[in-house]
């Protein structure tokens, strides 16, 4: 007994060791899956680019590790009663990497330069009607109407830039030599190869960052990223496949991290265009398709169980998610056949389903599996594979097939972007029109109170299950690997590298 206690004590001590001996300094080497198009946030067309850019900047607010909006360059803020006017008090004593002090003029410049037509993400800035400096450290931002995700967008997209510098050199030159207030400052970039940052010694957060620097290495091929982490030549590798993770399991010096991606895959229906006059107009049919699809089997067979069956559009990690309430449709082919019979389709029917060939990991197999699974309830799905170029060039209502496979990510911790994209009538990719859903989305958009919004999401979920506009498929898992001496790295749902508090264990 005594030895056992000692062993336990020893184990506890060993577990505490990495933290106790965590040391400052060192350069963290992080793999990027592609060469960032820009280091100027409004132009970071893909997630890799914004991940690599963020360590240079701070936002007014950020999303903390609990998913809450928390102060950053703004120390606090007030929202007007009608929810359209925000007043931010800015942190004093913060300087940019070029030595300029951070003031309200910089917030105005961030907004103005962000709205430039040449920016890929201009609409993340045009969401504000006006940004005015009240005094040096107070800023008023107004939005045309109450916007539920305004603060989240500030946190995700508004990287504060220095007004004098960016106005002097212009956007192109700024992107080549970016300056922010962030924990790391830009040193150099070798095209296609690496991006080097060093510690910002004057960072306003006392004692941070721990690292001396960060080096991003561009490694496009996932197998090479795996080899690089195995050989210890990088410290963090993301976007690995499930098969690679199996190989890496138990590899010396490598820790594995996995987390749910905030992306839902689904089969969309149309009740406009080619969807008019099809069996899909009957809610019972759409329910039957949800019951008759073996999403658990597909997950097992195609993703080795490494994906979550999606309960709807509000998924784990989203505001308003409730595990008990939000269970995926069970696989119940009998119930499906009953529903089909009730709707007058006891002999099933034929339907075409568009599929973006190779558009997502394993999507071709998924499309085939959907077809064979639904054949079990007498629905004959004809899979229409299209090249991704064709599939995504057109507004989705123009794509053939009254059904098609698609996915939406969110990156905001709530389902709103997904709902807006796929279900707001008139939107580019929307093919389903339901007034009740549209009204509810509008209420969510304008509900600034989080708890009230959470309830609206639950109401939305119930509606989207009773009268489903989609067959819900799955939510994938993201795999990353880190060197086992990396401490304090917490992957975030948007795959962003939040490196303020990362350090090396001894």
Partner 1 sequence: MIGYVVKRVLESVALLLGVLILVFFMVRLTGNPVALMLPQDATLEQRDAFAAAMGLDRPVPVQFAEYMWGAVQGDLGDSLRRRQPNLEIIVERLPATVELAGAALLFAMVVAIPIGLAGGMRPGSWIDSVARGIGLAGQTIPNFWLGMLLIVFFAVELRWLPAFGRDGFSSIVLPAIALGFAGMGQLARLTRSAVLEVRKSDYLRTALAKGVPARTVSLKHVLPNVAIPIVSVIGIQFTYLLGGSVYIEVVFAWPGLGTLLETAIRDTDFPLVQAITVFISMFAIVIHLATDLAYGAIDPRLRIS
- By CB under 8 A, name the binding residues for partner 1: 34-35, 37-38, 43, 45-46, 117-118, 120-123, 171-172, 175, 190-194, 217-221, 223-224, 227-228, 230-231, 233, 387-390, 392-394, 408-409, 417, 420-421, 427-429
Q: Which is nearer to partner 1, 18 or 417 (CB)?
A: 417
Do 271 and 432 form a contact (C-beta atoms < 8 A)? yes
Minimum CB distance to partner 1, residue 201 (Å): 27
Do 242 and 303 form a contact (C-beta atoms < 8 A)? yes
Minimum CB distance to partner 1, residue 127 (Å): 11
Alpha carbon distance, N-terminus to C-terminus of the chain? 32
Name which of 222, 224, 218 is nearest 194 in CA terms: 218
Q: Which is nearer to partner 1, 294 or 420 (CB)?
A: 420
Q: Which is nearer to partner 1, 204 or 392 (CB)?
A: 392
Residue 449 CA, distance from chain mean position: 22
Task: Provide the pairing of β-strand 307-309 with 474-483.
Answer: antiparallel
Task: Say how far apart CA 386 and CA 356 lie, in whole Å.
Answer: 5
Residues 6+ apart with CB under 8 A from 151: 61, 69, 86
Minimum CB distance to partner 1, residue 220 (Å): 5
Task: Say how far apart CA 40 and CA 113 lie, in whole Å.
Answer: 10
Minimum CB distance to partner 1, residue 355 (Å): 16
Helical packing angle, 416-423 and 435-446, nearest 10°: 140
Q: Which is nearer to partner 1, 305 or 389 (CB)?
A: 389
Return the structure tokens found at 227: 């080899």
Q: Which is nearer to partner 1, 137 or 194 (CB)?
A: 194
Q: Which is nearer to partner 1, 24 or 358 (CB)?
A: 358
Minimum CB distance to partner 1, residue 24 (Å): 26
Minimum CB distance to partner 1, residue 124 (Å): 8
Return the structure tokens found at 146: 């109450």
Minimum CB distance to partner 1, residue 279 (Å): 28
Do 245 and 256 form a contact (C-beta atoms < 8 A)? yes
Do 253 and 483 form a contact (C-beta atoms < 8 A)? yes
Q: Which is nearer to partner 1, 165 or 331 (CB)?
A: 165
Q: Which is nearer to partner 1, 72 or 363 (CB)?
A: 363
23 DSSP 8-state letter: B
Beta bridge partner(s), residue 138: 89, 135
Q: If you write DSSP's letter for every residue of 179-235 in order, what string do you get? A: --SSSEEEEEEETTTEEEEEE-TT-SSTT---SSEEEEEE---HHHHHHHHHTTS-S
Minimum CB distance to partner 1, residue 443 (Å): 19
Query: How many other CB atoms are there within 10 angstroms of residue 258's CB atom?
Result: 15
Minimum CB distance to partner 1, residue 349 (Å): 30
Q: Which is nearer to partner 1, 256 or 336 (CB)?
A: 256
Residues 6+ apart with CB under 8 A from 95: 101, 102, 181, 202, 204
Describe the chain by its helix, strand, coil percentages, rounded to 5: 35, 25, 40
Minimum CB distance to partner 1, residue 487 (Å): 25
Q: Which is nearer to partner 1, 7 or 190 (CB)?
A: 190
């Amino acid at each position: 007994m005594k030895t056992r206690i000692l062993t336990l004590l020893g184990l506890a001590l060993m577990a505490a060791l990495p933290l106790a001996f965590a040391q400052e300094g060192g350069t963290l080497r992080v793999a990027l899956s592609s060469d960032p198009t820009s280091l100027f946030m409004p132009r970071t067309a893909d997630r890799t680019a914004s991940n690599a850019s963020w360590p240079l900047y701070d936002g007014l607010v950020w999303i903390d590790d609990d998913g809450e909006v928390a102060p950053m360059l703004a120390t606090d803020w007030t929202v007007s009663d009608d929810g359209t006017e925000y007043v931010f008090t800015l942190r004093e004593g913060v300087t940019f990497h070029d030595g300029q002090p951070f003031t309200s003029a910089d917030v105005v410049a961030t907004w103005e330069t962000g709205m430039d037509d040449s920016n890929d993400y201009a609409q993340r800035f045009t969401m504000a009607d006006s940004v005015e400096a009240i005094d040096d450290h107070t800023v008023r931002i107004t939005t045309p109407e109450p916007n539920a995700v305004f603060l989240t967008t500030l946190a995700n997209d508004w990287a504060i830039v220095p007004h004098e510098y960016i106005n002097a050199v212009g956007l192109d030159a700024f992107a080549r030599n970016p300056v922010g207030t962030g924990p790391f400052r830009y040193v150099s970039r070798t095209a296609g190869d690496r991006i080097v940052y060093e510690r910002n010694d004057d960072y306003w957060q006392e004692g941070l960052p721990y690292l001396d620097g960060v080096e991003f290495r561009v490694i496009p091929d996932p197998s090479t990223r795996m080899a690089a982490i195995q050989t210890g030549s990088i410290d963090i590798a993301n976007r690995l496949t499930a098969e690679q993770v199996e190989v890496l399991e138990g590899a010396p010096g490598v820790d594995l991290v996995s987390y749910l991606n905030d992306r839902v895959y689904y089969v969309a229906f149309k009740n406009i265009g080619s969807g008019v006059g099809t069996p899909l107009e009957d809610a019972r049919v759409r329910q039957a398709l949800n019951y008759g699809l073996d999403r658990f089997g597909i997950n097992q067979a195609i993703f080795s169980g490494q994906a979550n069956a999606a309960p709807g559009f509000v998924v784990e990690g989203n505001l308003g998610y409730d595990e008990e309430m939000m269970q995926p449709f069970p696989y119940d082919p009998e119930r499906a056949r009953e529903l089909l019979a009730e709707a007058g389709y006891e002999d099933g029917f034929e339907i075409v389903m568009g599929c973006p060939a190779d558009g997502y990991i394993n999507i071709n197999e998924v499309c085939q599996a959907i077809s064979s699974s639904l054949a079990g309830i007498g629905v004959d799905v004809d899979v229409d594979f299209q090249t991704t170029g064709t599939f995504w060039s057109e507004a989705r209502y123009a794509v053939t097939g009254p059904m098609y496979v698609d996915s939406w990510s969110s990156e905001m911790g709530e389902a709103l972007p997904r709902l807006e994209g796929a279900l707001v009538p008139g939107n580019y990719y929307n093919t389903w029109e339901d007034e009740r859903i549209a009204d509810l989305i509008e209420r969510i958009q304008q509900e600034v109170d989080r708890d009230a919004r959470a309830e609206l999401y639950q109401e939305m979920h119930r509606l989207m299950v009773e009268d489903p506009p989609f067959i819900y498929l799955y939510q994938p898992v993201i795999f990353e690997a880190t060197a086992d001496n990396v401490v304090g790295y917490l992957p975030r749902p948007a795959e962003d590298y939040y490196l303020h508090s990362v350090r090396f264990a001894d």
